[in-house]
Structures are given as structure tokens and as C-alpha cells.
Chains A and B, each alone.
Chain A
């Protein structure tokens, strides 16, 4: 009887964890594939499809401790767009990412990325503003 009770207790604790793990695995897998799609779209210069594809990742319910992955996705995609000279879309993508993240550190990193894009595009004044935003966020975490 005791063994049965112990087994039931273990199962009752581990099932939600396993289910949560499965949920996360599903989300991660979708995001992984979608990121590849975004990067391929950028590579093939199909710019009109980039933002909707990226939004599919950004609207996934990412836990707070995984938010840095969303930030990395936005940084990589916007950087690739910047390298192709499409700064407008790069900024739009980063703006969408800024809406999706909640952590101040994540937001600060995205602002820095925007500043970097502006700096590469010769908009030093604008870059300065974004850096100031980033510094402000980092100073009040």
C-alpha cells in the first residue's frame, strides 16, 4: 500500500513537469524551424514575408528565462537585414521584438542593436538616442 502511495505521489509530481517540458520542446522546435525560415527569407530577399514569419516566433509564449533566445533571433535577423542594406525592415523587426520581450536587460540589448544599425547607417544622432535608452534601462534593472 505504501509503495503504491509513493508511486502515485511521484507520478503526480512528475507528470506536470513532463507535460511542461513537452510544451516547451514544442515551442522551441517551432521557433527553431521558424528562425531558419526567417533567415532563408532574408537570404532570398523576400522581405515582405520576413516580418510575418518573425512574428510567429515573437508571439510564441516564451518563458522569461528563455527570452534571451527571442532577443538573439531579432539580433541575428536584423543584423542580416542590415548587411543587405534593409535598415527599415531591420528596425521594424527589432521594434516587434521590443514589444514581445518584458525583461529590461532584453530591451536594453535590443536598443543597443538598434543603435548599432543606426551607427552603420550613418545616423549617429539616432544611435545616440537608442544607446541612451539602453543605458537608462540598464541603470534601473
Chain B
């Protein structure tokens, strides 16, 4: 399809409605005679155009609208009082919003409480470690000065240091 074809096919509806100036009409019709694809497009559109034009309109009776309106009204009134109280339209979004808030609140409530229990457990571990450490080393100041982990406390002198050679 050439650029020319694209321009002409856009104007086919206007051609069928007789909205184009006479010069443009002549040009497009001349093009349709030589271009097969544009002609096929035109014929297809023309077929649909004629089809729509042949549809018969149904004459509706003036009382028909009153009947329809009455049916709508009676359908609304048939809803019982209790049902209207329990499921009025306004409560649907309110209920949804409430549920959403409840879920969000429970999630936010659950996560910090879990973190809190984790922290408490870790604090307990740290506390027991400090106790264990204090049992091993004693108080800080004494520990730093006196305790050497590599000292051999069971070492006995091999001989008498005062013995003459």
C-alpha cells in the first residue's frame, strides 16, 4: 500500500457520504479504477454501509418506557428492610476499608511484637553470657591485671632452686 492509497482509504467513508469536494471525488474514483486493494476496501465498506442502511427500525410503543421504568422501581422496592439495612450500598466500601485497616493494623502489630520477642531473647543470651564471663574472669579490674589465660597453674619447680651445683 502506497502513501497515496493510505490517504485515499481514509477518505472512503467521506466519499460514500458525499461529503468530498467534486475534484477530490473524481481523483479518488480514478484511483479506485486502477488500484485493486483500494477498490476492495471501498467495496467492503460499501457493503457494510448498505447493510446498515437497510436495517429496519422498530417502532416502540410510547407505553414501553413506562413499563420498563415501573419494573426497575418495583425491583428496588422488593429488597427487604433487613437486607437493605445489612447490605446498603454505602457499607460495601466502608466494610472493605475497615477490613483493610484491620489487616494492616494486625500486620504492624505482629511484626514489632515478634521483633520485640527476638530482642528479648537476644538480651537474655547476652545477659547469660555476661554472667558466664564474670564467673570465668571475675571483676574487670582484677581480671585485666592478674589473669593470664596461658599461665600454667599446675607447674611445679623441677628441682630445688637453692641447691648448690
Contacts and interface: CB of A to CB of B under 8 A. Distances in A.
Interface string A69-111: 1001101100110010000000000000000000000000000
Contact of B149 (A69, A119, A134): A69
B130 A69 contact: no
Nearest to B125: A131
B126 interface: yes
Interface string B140-160: 100110011111100000000
Contacts of A131: 122, 125-126
B137 interface: yes
> Chain B at the A interface: mostly helix, strand, loop or mixed?
helix
Interface residues of B, number: 19
B119 interface: yes
A22 interface: no
Interface stretch (A9-17, A32-40, A47-55): A32-40
B133 interface: yes
Contacts, number: 59
B129 interface: yes
Given A39-B144, A76-B144, A119 B150 contact: no
Contacts of B126: 112, 115-116, 119, 127, 131
B72 to A, nearest CB: 64
A128 interface: yes
Given A112-B129, A115-B126, A116-B126, A35 B149 contact: yes
Given A76-B143, A116-B129, A116-B130, A69 B122 contact: no
Interface residues of A, number: 30
Contacts of B137: 72, 75-76
B122 A72 contact: no
Interface in B106-147: 118-119, 122, 125-126, 129-130, 133, 136-137, 140, 143-144, 147
A50 to B, nearest CB: 14
B6 to A, nearest CB: 66
Nearest to A39: B144
A140 to B, nearest CB: 16
A31 interface: yes
Contact of A76 (B122, B125, B130, B149): B149
Given A76-B137, A116-B126, A35 B148 contact: yes
8 contacts: A28-B150, A36-B148, A76-B149, A79-B140, A79-B143, A116-B129, A116-B133, A131-B126
